[in-house]
Structure 1
Amino acid sequence: MSTLEPARIAPGGFRELGPINWVIAKAGARAIRAPRFTLFNVLGQHKLLFLAWLPSAGLLLGPLGKLPRKDAELVILRVAHLRDCEYELQQHRRLARSRGVDRETQARIFEGPDAAGLTDRQRVLITATDEFVVTRSMSSETWAALSAFLNRTQLIEFCMLAGQYDALAATMATLRIPLDFPD
């Protein structure tokens, strides 16, 4: 999304979000060290949907998730790259670094599954993400390769994570959600 395009739904404040979602948006902004968490300030305007979505999204990213956090960030970064979603990239480049995915590894993730220096696990995760996002499914070969690294609950979570971030990328692009950081 070009930063020159105006937001289709402007980030809301207390009146648009209501007290609960406003507090959540403020806490989120503090967590990402930004003046506001624009995604929350937009999505929070649909009060009930936001409150229903947030626990699921939090589970996929938080300590209760079944995928290792490094794997989750790899998947999110790859989805964001494939969908050219600068908002997701901006947020998750930072978060991934805090979870042990350095800049060099991130560059390999963006390069793709054939990038030099990736582990077999990373190659499979990238390939699986590519197929999931591009074809909306996964070949039997890729599923078997992914199944060698992930257990049943992790496989389910992988699909939900990739789907969640693909849907978020589409939502952010359509709503033209402004970036949280000027860089």
Structure 2
Amino acid sequence: MRGSRCFTHGGPRPVGRTRRPLPAECARRAGPSPRTRGGLARLPRQAARRAALEAGSRELLILRVAWRTRSRYEWDQHVRIAGRLGVSDEQIAAVGRGPRAEIWSPLERLLISATDQLLEDQRIDDATWTGLAEPTTTAG
């Protein structure tokens, strides 16, 4: 996005700083393609309804999508929510490092990997699905 007026995603910042709203053209560029937008929008709701996923883990998924899509509004809102749900500042800071960050539990690592795969390929690979299905992983 060289030469555009869009913000540069800098990741976690202190909560409460005043920011100017994004120009409409940046919001369009920052989001996922129209083909995947609907599925990504439903992901957190479906995860909350259908899976035994803790609220903090759900917020990590939302934060990862916000990070990857450079959605400042979603990031700012869900940093606050995640903090209220017990997600640590260290975990929030690690969202930008992805699944390889050492802070993640096996479940969190798999969830972040699944989120990245959905964003990149619109599918979750077999190894990640298998890992998510294992009882020792889903126990947290």
Fold shared per TM-score above 0.5: yes
Q: After TM superposition, what 4+ stretches of structure 1 lie above 6 angstroms from structure 2?
A: none
Residue 113 (structure 1) aligned with residue 104 (structure 2): no
Q: Extract unaligned runs of 5+ from structure 1.
A: 9-55, 152-183
Alignment match, 1:47:
none
Residue 60 (structure 1) aligned with residue 60 (structure 2): no
Q: When the two structures are aligned, how many residues end up with a matched partner?
A: 102
**Is the 8 Å Cα contact of residues 55 and 85 (structure 2) preserved in structure 1?**
yes
Give 1:111 shift: 0.9
Q: If you compute each CA radius of gyration, which structure gives the higher value, 1 or 2? A: 1
Aligned counterpart in structure 1 of residue 122 of structure 2, from 136, 153, 167: 136
Give 1:108 shift: 1.5
Structure 1 residues 71 and 4, CA gap change in structure 2 (3 angstroms): closer
Give 1:6 shift: 3.9
Q: How does 1:82-161 map to 2 (within 5 A)?
A: 82-148=68-134, 149-150=137-138
Cα deviation 1:137-178 (Å, max 9, x = unaligned): 011111111222449xxxxxxxxxxxxxxxxxxxxxxxxxxx
- d(CA) in 1 for partners of 2:130 and 2:104? 19
- d(CA) in 1 for partners of 2:21 and 2:78? 22
Give 1:119 shift: 1.1
Instruction: Give the match's secondary structure for 1:101.
Output: coil
- What percentage of residue pairs aligned between the two structures are identical? 31
Partner amino acid, structure 2, of 1:60: R
Structure 1 residues 5 and 128, CA gap change in structure 2 (3 angstroms): closer
Cα RMSD after superposing both structures: 2.8
Structure 1 residues 144 and 97, CA gap change in structure 2 (3 angstroms): same
**Is the 8 Å Cα contact of residues 128 and 146 (structure 1) preserved in structure 2?**
no
Structure 1 residues 143 and 91, CA gap change in structure 2 (3 angstroms): same
Partner amino acid, structure 2, of 1:109: V
TM-score (norm 1): 0.48
Structure 1 residues 117 and 84, CA gap change in structure 2 (3 angstroms): same
Structure 1 residues 145 and 85, CA gap change in structure 2 (3 angstroms): same
Structure 1 residues 6 and 114, CA gap change in structure 2 (3 angstroms): closer
